[in-house]
């Protein structure tokens, strides 16, 4: 998704914007640009490709102004070249845009009729034309924006500047995130918190259909009718060192190693250590607006959560990509303990298939970024049906987090690598706690079971640390593994979603064909794929489905497949069946997913690294897909 940074202040806007865009690189992009005030004009510089190309063009330049806007573009309309790069300028008006203007064809036809000339193939450029044309009737930039907003259909976050009022930036959004950081006599407005925290930790989150009128020393918020909106700034905790690589070659490897801590941070707030029991904190059901959850009375909040959960008769888990696979694990966990029927859907399907949402349903939406457009749309659809909603996000105050009724946090820390890792295991840990909580609410969870479960979860980070040792193993094996024509990942039961996640990691990092399958499905087709150039990765821990999974492995082996097996404990039988046998610490079925995903992440990382790919920013992908 596109990255946006704007700056008003005494520092060099060129530097602030460039560094800000660098922190957003992980979002994925194919061109970049900035417009900086220089005298009375906004001087625009753009470049195809990476930010280094842009910097090479302006490094030696100096600008006299104290205002600028910048952008990294992830192409939606128009090929990724310099002409389509943002900012887009029409005479005295310059804008940057993240999102999609869905009615751009009609707008373009209308503008062409009135003589507008276009210099790009983008939908974004039209916004600059509309604002400029509006200002020709004598309106200022802010008034013109109010006139233009009702014309726009789609998802957008936009910054606009004008040479007629060069000391201000107007920001407005409906969909993709936009935040305003207020510093000492300076303002930073950006699509992500990372670009803001080096200058200030006092942040305003723009809501949909709000407009910010930003000057160097002040910011005013209005709704799209121009009515003033009172907003309270947040003091965010993020700081710069969290966003650094910490000596790892890639953020993704750092984040793989952070997983034990991420799981510990995810569960810690919700566990009563003395009684070894679950006690969700800060869920916030029933509070009519988004207050500071940390100020909630913990016992009252927990009782409200239990009461809400006791009414639940059906659960819908909705997410995309890796978050969806985490939801699939959640289904196994919740149904096993509580008997509540659970349905898991990809958000892009769920939002359009007119799902039947019975009364007393709960929707759980999972999203690391909290901004995934399909997941947000699915949440909004279900809220209209009156069902209760609960979000599991890593970015607090993100759109999905703010719009759900109840809230849980992955607490994984900033996840920069496009390929999600620590957010995934944190979500798995939270689904364990949710399953226990539903069990308690329904009165079907034995105390002894709960205590054992909690003990196992508390012990999981130490077991995960041991599994990280496979990093070295795959560093060596990566060279051979990259030669295979394809990979089949398989598992049964709660290990099946892990097979799907492992396949996704290899796809998105190594750009290799990889498929996740339920192991029991092999003889219904995939067996035909097996030969000695097909690697078969089998999740085969010693759980209740071990024998069945093992026989699937024998089927693959008998047909010449190269077997990589992920087992547990001492398992000579499995080892003798495999070219690569990785043994995980013995653990209960509900902890296995936290352990077995790690070798799959490391396999994908090392194969991609051996292939010379940019592991943090895989081609064609974005960290947060804020458009459909």
Closest residue by Cα to residue 207 from 225, 191, 223, 183: 223
Does 348 contact ligand AGP by CB under 6 A?
Answer: no
Does 419 contact ligand AGP by CB under 6 A?
Answer: yes
Closest residue by Cα to residue 388 from 357, 350, 410, 366: 357
CB of 620 vs ligand AGP, minimal distance in Å: 12
Position with the least CB separation from ligand AGP: 321
Cα–chain center distance at 4: 17
Nearest CB to ligand AGP, comparing residues 263 and 563: 263
Question: Of these residues, 2, 320, 393, 540, which one is catalytic?
Answer: 2
Does 625 contact ligand AGP by CB under 6 A?
Answer: yes
Strand order in the sheet with 168-174: 88-90, 93-101, 154-162, 168-174, 210-215, 218-223
Question: Of these residues, 14, 254, 507, 623, which one is catalytic?
Answer: 623
CB of 509 vs ligand AGP, minimal distance in Å: 9
Alpha carbons within 13 A on the beta-carbon side of 249: 9
Token digits for 268? 């810690």
| Binding residue count for ligand AGP, defined by CB under 6 A | 15
Nearest CB to ligand AGP, comparing residues 161 and 607: 607
Which residues, 291 to 330, sit near ligand AGP by CB under 6 A? Answer: 320-323
Closest residue by Cα to residue 237 from 370, 409, 17: 409
Question: Which of 174, 368, 578, 601: binder of ligand AGP (CB under 6 A)?
Answer: 368
User: Could you write out the DSSP letters of every residue in 393-447?
Assistant: ESSTTSHHHHHSSEEEE-------SSS--HHHHHHHHHHHHHHHHHHHHTT---H
**C-alpha to C-alpha distance for 118 and 111, rounded to whole angstroms:** 9
- Classify 248 as helix, strand or coil: coil
Closest residue by Cα to residue 321 from 371, 366, 266: 366
CB of 324 vs ligand AGP, minimal distance in Å: 7
**x/- binding map, residues 507-526, to ligand AGP, per CB under 6 A?**
-x------------------
Does 131 contact ligand AGP by CB under 6 A?
Answer: no
CB of 224 vs ligand AGP, minimal distance in Å: 27
Mutual orientation of helices 298-311 and 422-441 as an angle, nearest 10°? 80
Closest residue by Cα to residue 133 from 158, 106, 156, 162: 162
φ, ψ dihedrals at 514, nearest 5°: -145, 140
Known active-site residue 623: yes
CB of 367 vs ligand AGP, minimal distance in Å: 3
Q: Are 567 and 575 in contact (CB under 8 A)?
A: yes
CB of 505 vs ligand AGP, minimal distance in Å: 7
CB of 613 vs ligand AGP, minimal distance in Å: 14
Nearest CB to ligand AGP, comparing residues 396 and 420: 420
How many CB atoms sit inside 10 A of residue 232's CB? 7
Segment interacting with ligand AGP (CB under 6 A) among 94-102, 196-204, 362-370, 461-469? 362-370
Question: Which of 120, 372, 399, 583: binder of ligand AGP (CB under 6 A)?
Answer: 372
Nearest CB to ligand AGP, comparing residues 555 and 614: 614
Nearest CB to ligand AGP, comparing residues 323 and 338: 323
Does 420 contact ligand AGP by CB under 6 A?
Answer: yes
Does 601 contact ligand AGP by CB under 6 A?
Answer: no
State the catalytic residues.
2, 623
- Binding residues vs ligand AGP (CB under 6 A): 320-323, 367-369, 372, 375, 418-420, 508, 624-625
């Amino acid at each position: 998704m596109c990255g946006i940074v704007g700056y008003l202040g005494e520092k060099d806007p060129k530097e602030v914007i460039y560094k800000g865009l660098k922190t957003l690189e992980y979002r994925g992009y194919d061109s970049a640009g900035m417009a900086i005030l220089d005298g009375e004009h906004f001087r625009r510089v753009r470049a195809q490709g990476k930010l280094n190309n842009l910097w090479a063009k302006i490094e030696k330049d100096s600008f006299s102004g104290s205002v600028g806007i910048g952008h990294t573009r992830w192409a939606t309309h128009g090929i990724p070249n310099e002409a389509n790069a943002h900012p887009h300028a029409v005479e005295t008006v310059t804008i940057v845009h993240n999102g999609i203007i869905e009615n751009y064809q009609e707008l373009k036809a209308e503008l062409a009729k009135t003589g507008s000339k276009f210099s790009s193939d983008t939908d974004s450029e039209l916004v600059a034309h509309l604002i400029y044309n509006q200002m020709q009737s004598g309106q200022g930039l802010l008034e013109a924006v109010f006139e233009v907003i009702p014309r726009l259909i789609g998802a957008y976050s936009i910054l606009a500047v004008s040479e007629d009022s060069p000391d201000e930036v107007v920001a407005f959004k409906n969909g993709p995130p936009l935040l305003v950081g207020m510093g000492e006599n300076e303002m930073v407005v950006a699509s992500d918190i990372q670009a803001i925290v080096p200058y200030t930790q006092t942040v305003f989150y723009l809501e949909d259909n709000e407009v910010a009128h930003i000057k160097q020393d002040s910011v005013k918020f209005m709704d799209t009718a121009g009515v003033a909106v009172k907003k309270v700034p947040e003091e965010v905790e993020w700081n710069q060192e969290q966003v650094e690589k910490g000596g790892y070659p890639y953020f993704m490897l750092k984040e793989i190693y952070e997983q034990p801590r991420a799981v510990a941070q995810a569960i810690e707030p919700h566990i009563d250590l003395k009684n070894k029991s679950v006690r969700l904190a800060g869920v916030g059901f029933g509070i009519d607006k988004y207050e500071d959850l940390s100020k909630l009375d913990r016992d009252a909040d927990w009782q409200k959560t239990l009461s809400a959960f006791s009414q639940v008769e059906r659960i819908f888990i909705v997410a995309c990509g890796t978050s969806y696979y985490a939801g699939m694990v959640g289904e196994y966990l919740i149904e096993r303990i509580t008997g509540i029927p659970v349905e898991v859907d990809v958000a892009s399907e769920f939002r359009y298939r007119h799902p039947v949402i019975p009364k007393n349903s709960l929707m759980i939406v999972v999203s690391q970024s909290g901004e995934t457009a399909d997941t947000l749309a699915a949440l909004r659809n279900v809220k209209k049906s009156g069902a209760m909603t609960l979000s599991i996000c890593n970015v607090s105050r993100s759109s999905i987090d703010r719009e759900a009724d109840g809230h849980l946090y992955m607490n994984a820390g900033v996840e920069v690598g496009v390929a999600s890792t620590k957010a995934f295991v944190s979500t798995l840990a939270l689904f364990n706690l949710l399953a226990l909580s539903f069990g308690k609410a329904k009165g079907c969870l034995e105390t002894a079971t709960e205590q054992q479960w909690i003990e196992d979860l508390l012990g999981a980070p130490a077991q995960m640390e041991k599994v990280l040792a496979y990093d070295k193993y795959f560093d060596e094996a990566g060279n051979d593994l990259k030669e295979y024509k394809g990979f089949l990942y398989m598992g049964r039961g709660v290990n099946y979603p892990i097979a799907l996640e492992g396949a996704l990691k290899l796809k998105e990092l190594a750009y290799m064909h990889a498929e996740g399958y339920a192991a029991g499905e092999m003889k219904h087709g995939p067996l035909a794929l097996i030969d000695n150039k097909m690697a078969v990765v089998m999740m085969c821990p010693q759980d209740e489905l071990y024998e069945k999974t093992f026989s699937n492995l024998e089927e693959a082996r008998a047909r010449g497949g190269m077997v990589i097996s992920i087992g547990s404990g001492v398992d000579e039988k499995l080892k003798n069946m495999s070219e690569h046998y990785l043994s995980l610490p013995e653990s209960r079925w509900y902890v296995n997913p936290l352990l077995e995903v790690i070798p799959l992440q490391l396999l994908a990382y090392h194969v991609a690294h051996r292939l010379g790919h940019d592991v943090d920013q895989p081609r064609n992908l974005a960290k947060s897909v804020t458009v459909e």
